[in-house]
Amino acid sequence: RYTIGLEVERTNSHSPHCRALVTRLEEIDVELKKVNEEASDKVLEIEQHYNGKRRPVYFMTHPALGDFLTDEDEKEFKPNPYFEDTKLVKTIAFCDEGTMKITGTNIKWKEGMSVDAGFSADIVTERV
């Protein structure tokens, strides 16, 4: 970041020209701070975008997590007659005692399609 820190003793002994220069430098400093803040926001936005793209690569190649994930874990569902979700998420938490807690998305089943409602053989053989 480029900033100019100005500390000028304001007295009447400075010429009007010098005071005008200092005032203009202070205005430039304020403008520069605004530009730096805007640039920081843009950089953060870009970093977040690319971090999102890196995340699947990281998890898929991680020595401990990679064994739990497959290429199938990255797919999204097309609209289907069984449930509303387009993504199902698997969460793996590492506990202090060395164990793992694995949880998954609660599926939003469409009416009459939940596992509790039972499936007919022809429904089970269809590919979602």
Tell me, yes or no, whether 4 and 29 share the same domain.
yes
Domain range holding 28? Answer: 1-70
In tens, the pLDDT along 81-111 reads 888 988 888 887 888 888 888 888 888 999 8
Tell me, yes or no, whether 63 and 80 share the same domain.
no
Report yes or no: 90 and 73 within 8 Å, Cβ to Cβ: yes
Tell me, yes or no, whether 86 and 65 share the same domain.
no
Other beta carbons less than 10 A from residue 109's beta carbon: 15
Tell me, yes or no, whether 80 and 62 share the same domain.
no
Tell me, yes or no, whether 31 and 82 share the same domain.
no
Report yes or no: 58 and 68 within 8 Å, Cβ to Cβ: no
Tell me, yes or no, whether 83 and 46 share the same domain.
no
Tell me, yes or no, whether 5 and 49 share the same domain.
yes
Our count of domains for the chain comes to 2
In tens, the pLDDT along 42-96 reads 999 999 888 777 766 666 677 776 676 666 666 778 888 888 988 888 887 888 8
